[in-house]
Structure 1
Amino acid sequence: MELRALRYFVTVAEELHFGRAAERLHIAQPAVSQQVARLERELGVRLLDRSPRTVRLTEAGARVLDAARETLASAEKVSAAARTGPDTVRIGTAPGMAARLERGIDALREHEPGFEVVLVDLPVPARLDALRRGELDLAVARAVRHVPGVRVRQAWSEPLRVVVSAKHPMADRERVELPEMAGFSLRFPARECDPPLHDAVTAAFRAAGVTPKLGRPTGAPQDTIVEVGSAPGSWTLLPAGLVSVSPRVRSIPLHPPLEVPGSVLTREDGTSDGCVDAVVAAFRGD
């Protein structure tokens, strides 16, 4: 079994679309399909249910996805170990946090000038697993409140934004209430892409007494924004930091406002409190 096949499968599972997975991997789509089919033959189970319009994980696929992420993260650990020394701090990153990461890195280097910082980009589930296994020293994440074996230090709050096409009926609104969006098709990343954020948004709907009209699940947030921009009858709900500037979409504040927490994560027996305190303060903008 090749790491390449596992990587292709994980990417398809995160995107739930072979074409987008191929674009993300920078290879031709048939190569992705062939590798995933070969992996299914090797394992003797169907990992994905495919139809002309949708791709969904099977129960076996969901189990294999967790194991595949662990395997790939372990492989990354070997690679990272070859290029880092004992004075290296490995940080699991998240999209849309460049300014906070820059402040956090500056704070680390001020606290310990000899540190070298390595940024590791992993999906949220793999990021948390890598942190628990000691393959990361710190991680940042949105909407994480409790993880066994992990110390969660809330560092900031981030407002949720309604994102619609520039041609959407609500596009010119200065603010919008969740119940007003109930009749439009909600496009949102599948839960396996980011369980904490998915659960936080689901809880926000439940608290507001709103049952959204669910459209097809999407993959990464940036792909979600592209799809929403191309479909005037749809919308999504994302943290403000994930919303990229585009003339094709509008980002609208909610009324009343809703926020998700952003946190700095460490193992309970990991990085020293002094370092963590410095990073948390930097992420808050103190």
Structure 2
Amino acid sequence: MDFRQLRYFLAVSEELSFSRAAERCFISQSAISHQVTKLEQELGASLFERSTRVVRLTPAGSRLVPIAQEVLSLETKAFAVAKEPRNRIRITASMSFATQSLDAIARVRERHPDLDIEFVIKNFTDRVDAVSSGDADIALIRGEVDRPGLETLELGVEDLMIATSSRHPVSAFSTVELSELAPYPLLLPPRHSQILIHTVVENAFADVGRRFQLGPPIARDHTAILDVITNPRAWTVLYASTVTEAPRTGLCVMRERDNRLRVPVSGIVRSGAASPGLLDLVDSLRQTVISGQTSVPLNPPQQIRGTPKAQ
């Protein structure tokens, strides 16, 4: 048993998917599956129930999760104790913030060459807990957090882009009004796993006095993009920062005409945290978030409103 196996085991336990865990750990699916199987053989117990569609923790796997978390936490502390003290800032975020963060980090490192800046991927709850415990200096989130000892710094806003199949009735345009989407089913993950997106959409439709049709929840082993491509009358929303990762074949991405689908992007820090490097990083992140709103690539519109389609 080694730390790597425990790290891979925890990734699978959180994602409940070997493929998503492999992407998160930047290795192949076969490699992560091999290491988890090896760990199971060493422990003499199955850690996951596997089927073609579902991955679940076994009772043994559930018992191992807190122990693995504790062991990896001790590993982190051991490295921290042994490492020579330096100026360091640790950012924790989801993978969807990676591009924005790396751009900001590069600019700050040019101005502070003696500053170590680490980027650590964690889920939402772990991000906030890491800042609260002092394990991270800033957590990047969409939305806000109200917790004693923590402060929310506004970094900007991010658009939610409309995504449909290229065969959808509204796909001919580069912008769309909410009222035009009301007759068509909206595909989203379950509300409990994406409360912010559900709330933003609900409030936007309430503002225009319309109701929307919520389609069946997107399963954990599905993606919204593929589901709308295979359901030509459905639509979904994507964070603007992730649009470049979406396939361009069979998919149309457009803006909501009145900019009602927007989410706040925030940095969570400990109250009173104000080192020069951290403040510089926050300013750089703000510039990155703002510039990202003006450079979202869209599918070329097939038709301009009010004019006939080109022949």
Paired residue type of 1:89:
I
For structure 2, the residue ranges without an aligned partner over 5 or more in a row are 206-210, 291-311
Structure 1 position 132 matched with structure 2 position 132: yes
How many angstroms apart in 2 are the aligned matches of 1:149 and 1:59? 36
Structure 1 position 253 matched with structure 2 position 249: no
2:200 aligned residue: 204
> How many correspondences in the alignment?
273
After TM superposition, list the pairs within 5 Å mapping 1:1-286 onto structure 2. Answer: 3-4=3-4, 6-22=6-22, 25-28=27-30, 31=34, 34=37, 52-55=52-55, 72=72, 75-79=75-79, 82=82, 85-94=85-94, 95-99=96-100, 101-103=102-104, 106-107=107-108, 110=111, 114-173=114-173, 174-177=175-178, 180=181, 183-184=184-185, 186-188=187-189, 198-207=194-203, 208=205, 209-210=211-212, 212-218=214-220, 224=223, 227-228=226-227, 231-233=230-232, 235-245=235-245, 246-248=247-249, 249-256=251-258, 257-268=260-271, 271-272=273-274, 274-285=276-287
How high is the TM-score relative to the length of structure 2?
A: 0.66
Residues 17 and 129 (structure 1), Cα distance of their counterparts in 2 relative to 1, 3 Å cut: same
How many angstroms apart in 1 are the aligned matches of 2:216 and 2:42? 31
For residues 6-48 of structure 1, give each alpha carbon's deviation from its aligned partner in whole angstroms, at most 9, with x where no partner exists: 4334333444433443565424275377468779986xxx987
Paired residue type of 1:118:
E
Q: Percent identity?
A: 25
Contact 1:15–1:21 (CA under 8 A) maintained in structure 2: yes
Contact 2:153–2:267 (CA under 8 A) maintained in structure 1: yes
Larger Rg: 2
How high is the TM-score relative to the length of structure 1?
A: 0.70
Contact 1:70–1:126 (CA under 8 A) maintained in structure 2: no
Shift of 1:101: 4.3
Contact 2:200–2:262 (CA under 8 A) maintained in structure 1: no
Shift of 1:181: 5.8
Shift of 1:162: 1.9
For residues 79-127 of structure 1, give each alpha carbon's deviation from its aligned partner in whole angstroms, at most 9, with x where no partner exists: 46655632222222442453454335534763x5532222223333332
Residues 160 and 60 (structure 1), Cα distance of their counterparts in 2 relative to 1, 3 Å cut: farther
For structure 1, the residue ranges without an aligned partner over 5 or more in a row are none
Contact 1:18–1:33 (CA under 8 A) maintained in structure 2: no
How many angstroms apart in 1 are the aligned matches of 2:61 and 2:216? 23
Shift of 1:239: 1.7
Residues 106 and 213 (structure 1), Cα distance of their counterparts in 2 relative to 1, 3 Å cut: same
CA RMSD of aligned residues (A): 4.2
Paired residue type of 2:230:
A
Contact 1:47–1:61 (CA under 8 A) maintained in structure 2: yes
Residues 283 and 38 (structure 1), Cα distance of their counterparts in 2 relative to 1, 3 Å cut: same
For residues 171-222 of structure 1, give each alpha carbon's deviation from its aligned partner in whole angstroms, at most 9, with x where no partner exists: 333224277266436143885xxx6xx2211212432354511333347xxx
Paired residue type of 2:34:
A
Shift of 1:154: 0.9
- SS of corresponding position for 1:203: helix
Shift of 1:240: 0.5
- SS of corresponding position for 2:160: strand
Paired residue type of 2:99:
A
Contact 1:92–1:136 (CA under 8 A) maintained in structure 2: yes
Residues 105 and 4 (structure 1), Cα distance of their counterparts in 2 relative to 1, 3 Å cut: closer
